[in-house]
C-alpha cells in the first residue's frame, strides 16, 4: 500500500475531479490525501487567459507542489494542460472521457438559434467566439471568466442571455438540468482534450505511474493525443482559436479540426483526417497531418 498526495485547484469542479481520482486509487488499496491550492488562473478574473499567460496559469502552482515533494500527482482538466510540459514532468494517465461537447445554457432560450438578434452570449474562449460567430454573426459575445459556479451566477444575475460551458463539468457536478441544448461537434467543435482528465507527475516516479495504470483509458488517450498534436503543431495555446475532436472506433481514428480568425468573423478553416492507429505516436502523427491541412487552408 502506498501513500499519495494529490495537488488540486480548489474550485468545486476541480475538487470533484481530485476526489474522483482519490476514490479510485483508494479502491486499489492506496492511502490518498488532497492538497488544495489557488492558482493564478483562479485569481486573475478581469482579463482573458490569452492576455495573461494562457491556461498554464492553472497548473503552475500544482507543478511547484510536485517539484517540491508536497504532492505526488496533480489532477487537471486536460484542456487546461499546456501541449508541452516543462522538463521533469510527464502526463502519466489519461482517464475515460466524459461528454466532450459544449453546452448551451440559458434561463430563457432553448438554443442558440432561438436567441433574439444581438443577444449577449458569455464566453472567454476564442475557440467558442469564432465558432459562435460562424453560427450567429449577429450575436454580442462578451467576456466571461471564473469557475463554473461563478459563471452560472453571472448568467442568473442577468448579465447574459446565454453562456457556453463544457458539458462535462456540468454533468460531473450534477448540474445537467442547466443544459438547454448540447452542441453537436458539427456545430461547435470541442477543444483538444475537452471532457478528459489528465494526471501529471514528476518524471522518475514509476511508483506513481504504476499506481495510476488501472485508471488509464487507452481509447481516450489515443484520441486526445491526436487532438493535442494539432494544437502543438500550430503552436497552440488559449490565444489560438483552434478546435480539435477525435473519435476512435476499433483501430480507426477520425479527427476533425477547425481554426478561425477572430478578425474575420465567420471564416473558418476546417480539416478532417482518418487512419488506423496503434500507438500514441501514430495518433499524434494524424494530428500533425490535420494541422498541416489547416495551415494549407490559411490557419496561422
CATH placement of domain 102-182:
3.40.190.10
Active-site residue identified among 42, 72, 80, 161: 80
Could you tell me the residue ranges of all domains in the chain?
1-97+195-216, 102-182, 217-300
* The predicted structure's pLDDT at residue 193: 96
Q: How does pLDDT run across 19-51, given as a tens digit for each residue? A: 999 999 999 999 999 999 976 545 544 445 444
Could you name the CATH architecture of 1-97+195-216? 3-Layer(aba) Sandwich (3.40)
Q: How does pLDDT run across 159-172, given as a tens digit for each residue? A: 999 999 999 999 99
Residue 295's pLDDT band, with cuts at 50, 70 and 90, is very high
Catalytic residue status for 72: no
What is the mean predicted confidence (pLDDT) over 179-186?
96
CATH placement of domain 217-300:
3.30.160.40
Residue 262's pLDDT band, with cuts at 50, 70 and 90, is confident
* The predicted structure's pLDDT at residue 220: 98
Fold: same for 1-97+195-216 and 217-300: no
* The predicted structure's pLDDT at residue 56: 56
DSSP the chain: --EEEEEEE-SHHHHHHHHHHHHHHHHTT-EEEEEEE--HHHH--SS-HHHHT-GGGGTHHHHHHHHTTS-SEEEEEGGGS-SSPPTTEEEEEEPPP---SEEEE-SS-SSSTTSPTT-EEE---HHHHHHHHHH-TT-EEE---S-HHHHHHHHHTTS-SEEEEEHHHHHHTT-GGG-SEEPPTTTSPPPTTTT-EEEEEETT-HHHHHHHGGG--HHHHHHHHHHHHHHHHTT--TTS-EEEEEEEETTEEEEEEEEE-TTSTT-EEEEEEEEE--SHHHHHHHHHHHHHHHHHTT--
Amino acid at each position: 500500500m502506498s501513500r499519495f498526495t494529490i495537488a488540486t485547484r480548489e474550485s468545486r469542479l476541480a475538487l470533484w475531479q481530485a476526489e474522483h481520482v482519490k476514490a479510485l486509487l483508494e479502491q486499489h488499496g492506496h492511502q490518498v490525501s488532497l492538497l488544495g491550492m489557488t492558482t493564478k488562473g483562479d485569481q486573475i478574473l478581469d482579463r482573458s487567459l490569452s492576455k495573461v499567460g494562457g491556461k498554464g496559469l492553472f497548473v503552475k502552482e500544482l507543478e511547484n507542489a510536485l517539484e517540491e515533494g508536497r504532492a505526488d500527482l496533480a489532477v487537471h482538466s486536460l484542456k487546461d494542460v499546456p501541449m508541452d510540459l516543462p522538463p521533469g514532468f510527464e502526463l502519466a494517465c489519461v482517464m475515460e472521457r466524459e461528454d466532450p461537447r459544449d453546452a448551451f445554457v440559458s434561463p430563457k432560450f432553448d438554443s442558440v438559434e432561438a436567441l433574439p438578434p444581438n443577444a449577449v452570449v458569455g464566453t472567454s474562449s476564442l475557440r467558442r467566439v469564432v465558432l459562435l460567430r460562424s453560427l450567429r454573426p449577429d450575436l454580442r459575445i462578451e467576456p466571461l471568466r471564473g469557475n463554473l459556479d461563478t459563471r452560472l451566477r453571472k448568467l442568473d444575475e442577468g448579465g447574459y442571455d446565454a453562456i457556453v460551458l463544457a458539458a462535462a463539468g456540468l454533468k460531473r457536478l450534477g448540474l445537467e438540468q442547466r443544459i438547454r441544448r448540447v452542441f453537436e461537434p458539427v456545430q461547435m467543435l470541442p477543444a483538444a482534450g475537452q471532457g478528459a482528465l489528465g494526471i501529471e507527475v514528476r518524471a522518475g516516479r514509476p511508483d506513481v505511474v504504476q499506481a495510476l495504470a488501472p485508471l488509464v483509458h487507452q481509447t481516450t488517450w489515443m484520441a486526445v493525443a491526436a487532438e493535442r498534436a494539432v494544437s502543438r503543431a500550430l503552436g497552440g495555446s488559449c490565444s489560438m482559436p483552434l478546435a480539435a475532436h477525435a473519435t476512435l472506433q476499433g483501430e480507426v481514428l477520425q479527427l476533425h479540426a477547425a481554426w478561425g480568425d477572430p478578425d474575420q468573423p465567420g471564416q473558418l478553416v476546417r480539416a478532417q483526417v482518418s487512419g488506423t492507429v496503434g500507438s500514441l505516436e501514430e495518433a499524434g502523427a494524424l494530428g500533425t497531418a490535420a494541422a498541416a491541412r489547416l495551415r494549407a487552408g490559411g490557419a496561422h
